[in-house]
Amino acid sequence: MPTQASPATENSYLLSSAQFQSGSNIIVSQTTQSAGFSSARAATFDLASGMQLLINAPGSGSISSHSEIDYTFTVDTAFTISLNYDVSLSSPFSPTNVLQLRDMSVNYLVDFSPSADGSFTSAVIGPGQYVFVTALRDSVDGPWTPRISQSGSLAQSVAFQINEVAPTPEPESWAMLVVGFSAMGCGMRVRQRAVRLG
């Protein structure tokens, strides 16, 4: 598994992969991942996962492959996230591509599994600490028939961008603005009246 330096002190990410199998005559190929950061607010996450099934004898069991990047980040202002993703799911098994954004209480704010290339911009999200999850999964269940050879490959590239949103004035601020403009208007009227009388 590749190791990477954290892009910023408050931000960190974890690369993980796992293969689960039971039964015999099953091979899971290498899983690869990478993460590249152009800044603490912009990143590219690349995943590639492959699975190969070689059956030389009848039997039963299950197999799955899982590749994931969890990016934990902190934002102190309101923001949106923008995603551009390229997805390739070439597998005879059961492939799934996952993109999720959740808070630290595991409430999912964005949760979808695109099966094709596309883009997405979230609604405005408040400041706090969040986890962005991008994952690939593939699975298949037995029983197995002898002399079957199948392989599947999954690939995903996600461009992730944090967009800060200008703060909206609070009701108290609006009230102060209205009072200030009213006072200015009254002052101008008093001056105009004084000029006319003078």
| 60 and 76, same domain (yes or no) | yes
| 114 and 198, same domain (yes or no) | no
**CATH number for 21:** 2.60.120
| Phi-psi sector, 145: left (phi>0), alpha (psi -120 to 50), beta | beta
pLDDT of the residue at 101: 94
pLDDT at 43 over 50: yes
| 195 and 97, same domain (yes or no) | no
- Supply the DSSP string of 112-161, one letter for each residue: E--SS-EEEEPPPB-SEEEEEEEEEEEEEE-PBPTTEEEEEEEEEEEEEE
Band of pLDDT at residue 3, cut at 50, 70 and 90: very low
pLDDT at 11 over 70: no
pLDDT by residue (tens digit) across 130-161? 999 999 888 888 777 766 677 888 899 999 99
Which sign, positive or negative, has the C-alpha torsion 86, 90, 33, 127? Answer: positive
Cα(116)–Cα(96) distance, integer angstroms: 11
Q: Name the DSSP class of 59.
A: B
| 134 and 197, same domain (yes or no) | no
pTM over 0.75: no
Band of pLDDT at residue 173, cut at 50, 70 and 90: low
| 17 and 73, same domain (yes or no) | yes
- 172 three-class SS: helix
- pLDDT above 70 covers a percentage of the chain that reads 66
The structure tokens 């070439």 sit at: 90
Catalogue the long-range contacts made by 33-38 (C-beta closer than 8 Å, 24 or more residues apart): 33/1, 33/2, 33/67, 33/68, 33/69, 34/2, 34/4, 35/4, 35/69, 35/71, 37/7
| 162 and 173, same domain (yes or no) | no
pLDDT by residue (tens digit) across 60-116? 777 777 888 888 888 889 999 999 999 999 988 889 999 999 998 888 999 988 989
Cα(4)–Cα(14) distance, integer angstroms: 9
